[in-house]
Amino acid sequence: MPRTHSKAPANKASARRAGQSTDKPAQQLIPVPDGEAGRRPPRGYNLQEAMGLGGKDEKYYRYLRKVKAIARRFLTAGLTISRQPRLTVAKVMNLEHAFFARFEQGWPVYVILKQYYSNSAAASKRNEERDCAASVVSSEEDASGDEDVSSRKRKRGTIDDTRDSADEGGNHWEIPESSEEEEDVPGKVMPPVKDHMYKRLPLKKKTVTIVSPVASPERTSKRKVSVF
Q: What is the pLDDT of residue 45?
A: 92
What pLDDT, in 10s, does the model give residues 30-80? 898 888 888 888 889 999 999 999 999 999 999 999 888 888 888 887 778
pLDDT category at 122 given cuts 50, 70, 90 is low
Percentage of the chain modeled with pLDDT above 90 = 8
Q: Is residue 34 part of a domain?
A: yes
User: For 173, which DSSP code?
Assistant: S
Q: What is the pLDDT of residue 14?
A: 52
Cβ neighbours of residue 204 closer than 8 Å, sequence gap 6 or more? 228
pLDDT category at 156 given cuts 50, 70, 90 is low
More confident residue, 18 or 205: 205
The Cα-based distances of 170 to 7, 28, 156, 164, 192 in angstroms read 144, 105, 19, 9, 19
Q: What is the pLDDT of residue 226?
A: 56
Cα distance between residue 9 and residue 11, in whole Å: 6
Cα distance between residue 166 and residue 116, in whole Å: 75
Q: Is residue 86 part of a domain?
A: yes
Cα distance between residue 112 and residue 38, in whole Å: 11
Cβ neighbours of residue 70 closer than 8 Å, sequence gap 6 or more? 92, 95
Half-sphere exposure of 227 (CA within 13 A, CB side): 8
**Distance of alpha carbon 118 from the chain centroid:** 24
Q: What is the pLDDT of residue 29?
A: 87
* Structural domain that includes position 69: 28-163
More confident residue, 78 or 228: 78
The winner for highest mean pLDDT among 11-15, 68-72, 93-97, 147-151 is: 68-72
Q: If you average pLDDT over residues 91-97, what whole number do you get? A: 72
137, pLDDT greater than 70: no
Strand-pair partners of 207: 226
Cα distance between residue 216 and residue 83, in whole Å: 139
Percentage of the chain modeled with pLDDT above 70 = 39
* 177-185, long-range: CB < 8 A, 24+ apart: none
Q: Is residue 223 part of a domain?
A: no
Q: Is residue 135 part of a domain?
A: yes
Q: Is residue 4 part of a domain?
A: no
State whether the Cα torsion 177-181-185-188 is positive or negative. positive
Q: Is residue 7 part of a domain?
A: no
Residues making up the chain, counted from first to last? 228
What pLDDT, in 10s, does the model give residues 166-225? 455 544 444 445 454 555 555 555 655 555 555 566 666 666 666 555 555 555 555 555
Give me the chain's average pLDDT, please.
68
Q: What is the pLDDT of residue 57?
A: 92
Q: Is residue 38 part of a domain?
A: yes
Q: Is residue 52 part of a domain?
A: yes
Q: How many domains does the chain have?
A: 1
Q: What is the pLDDT of residue 74?
A: 83
